[in-house]
Every structure is written in structure tokens, then in C-alpha cells.
Amino acid sequence: MSVTETGNERGFAFWRGRLDGAEVLLVQTGIGKAKAAQATRVTLERFAPSVVVSTGFAGGTQASLAAGDLAIADRVWSCSGDPLAEPSATTMSSACAPKLVELARECAAKAKTPHQVGGILTVDQVVAEAERKHRVGQKFGVLAVEMESAAVAEVAVAAGTPFLCVRSISDAVDQDLHLESFRIATPDGRIKPLSAALYLAAKPTRVAEALRMRHQVRLGAENFAIFCAAFAQAVGG
């Protein structure tokens, strides 16, 4: 992406530029539904994009998705509270624009990036344990779980703006995450170097896990970048 403008709009960092002929705007929402919804409102008011795409990482909830694969949502669901509680509070769902879903599928296939199309669940808290991710996948039939996309969808759809969600799988369904490791990140998702160093010094057995996650995130980012180039070219054309 060739960046032509950077800035901050009401607390949300943005980058504007061109990617394979298409005008692209990247907005950093931060973590969670509230930040994602507000970032989307600000983006629609300030920039009036023709399409809104929610991107980032997600935890896999199906064995058929490996770390680094792409989950292309045909529908996003929102669940308040514990998704495994009975009954769970599934408050809303939003369908992604069918034409965008099909275009994304075609672009992923053309770019030869591993992917699947299906539902994605947005929750309030990180689903960290492999056992819980597996149960979420069974209960809701979704491909992945994350913390922002349904909020983005709700705002975009209400505004009449076509919406799509494409997420890279950072951790497969059989992989546990350790919640204490999330203290090394700021609310907007940036790593705090000193906190990271202290955490790994106190828990040296987690170094291998951190290196594994680093590899998986890089793989997901690379696959997503390849997909984005194909998708931007298709949209721009």
C-alpha cells in the first residue's frame, strides 16, 4: 500500500493510500465492541467509504482451519457475556454483502491463500482455552471467534454501507492461549516491550509459545496481505 496521508480522527489512527489501483483507508479500532462501533461511526462520518471491511486476527473454532488461514464471513454474530452459558445472550447477527463475500472467495482462491467461508462470532472476552473454542464452534457452527466485527457490521449495515469481514486465524482450535500474556498489550493492541520482556523473564517456559504465536501471526499477516492485493485490484477495477 502506498500511503498518502496519516492522521488521527477523534482518537482513531488512520492511514489513507492506494493499493493496486484502489483507494484504501485503514482505521485502527482498538480492541472490543465499543471501540469498534465508535471507530466505524467516525469513519463513516468523516470519510464516507463505499465499503467497510472488518479485518484482524481471530481464534479458530473448527479443526479445518489452521493458523494463518483466512476466515471469510458470510454472517457475523454477536454474543454478550459467556458464549457457553445456557442460554447464551446472542443479541444480533448481520449478513455480509453477498457480492463482497463471493468476490472475497474468488480473490482468495485466485491468490491461493487458504480460506473458508462461514460464520464468525464476536464476543466480549477472549476465548483462550482450546476446549472452549471447540465448544463455541460446535454450539454456534462458526469458523472463528473475535471481539469486534459484529459491532462494525451493526453500524455499517445501519448506515447502508456494504460490509465484509475477513479475519486471519492467529490460533487454531486446538491451541491454548494464556490470558496473562494479554497484559503485555495496550488497549489498542500494541505490544509493550518492557512488559513483554518482564513477562517472558518471569515465565521462561512461555518463550517457545511466544515464538510460535509470532510465527503464526506473521503467516496470517502475509496471507492476508496477498489476499488484500487481489481484493483491492478486483474492487478497484
Given this model, what pLDDT does residue 237 score? 62
Could you tell me the residue range of the domain that residue 60 belongs to? 52-236
Q: Name the helix (H) or strand (E) containing 42.
A: helix 33-47
Report the distance separating Cα 15 and Cα 5, nearest Å: 6
Model's pTM, two decimal places? 0.88
Report the distance separating Cα 222 and Cα 112, nearest Å: 12
Cell readout for 64 is 479445518
Overall domain count for the chain: 1
pLDDT at 71 over 70: yes
Residues of the chain with pLDDT > 70, as a percent, come to 86
> Does residue 18 lie in a domain region?
no
Given this model, what pLDDT does residue 235 score? 82
> Does residue 76 lie in a domain region?
yes
Question: pLDDT tens digits, residue range 150-203?
Answer: 999 999 999 999 999 999 999 999 999 876 555 555 544 466 677 667 766 777
Burial of 210 per CB tally in 10 Å (0-12, 13-18, 19+): middle
Task: Please count the residues of the chain.
Answer: 237
Q: Name the helix (H) or strand (E) containing 169.
A: strand 163-171
CATH of the domain at 99: 3.40.50.1580
> Does residue 15 lie in a domain region?
no
Cis status, amide bond into 204, omega within 30 of 0:
no
Question: pLDDT tens digits, residue range 130-160?
Answer: 999 999 999 999 999 999 999 999 999 999 9
Residues of the chain with pLDDT > 90, as a percent, come to 67
Q: How does DSSP classify residue 84?
A: T
Given this model, what pLDDT does residue 134 score? 97
Confidence of residue 93 (pLDDT cuts 50, 70, 90): confident
Given this model, what pLDDT does residue 180 score? 58
> Does residue 120 lie in a domain region?
yes
* Long-range contact pairs involving 100-103 (C-beta distance under 8 Å, separation at least 24): 100/51, 100/53, 100/162, 100/163, 100/164, 101/72, 101/73, 101/74, 101/164, 103/231, 103/234, 103/235
**Mean pLDDT for the stretch of residues 120-137:** 95
pLDDT at 206 over 70: no
Report the distance separating Cα 200 and Cα 208, nearest Å: 10
> Does residue 37 lie in a domain region?
no
> Does residue 195 lie in a domain region?
yes
> Does residue 23 lie in a domain region?
no
> Does residue 29 lie in a domain region?
no
Given this model, what pLDDT does residue 116 score? 98
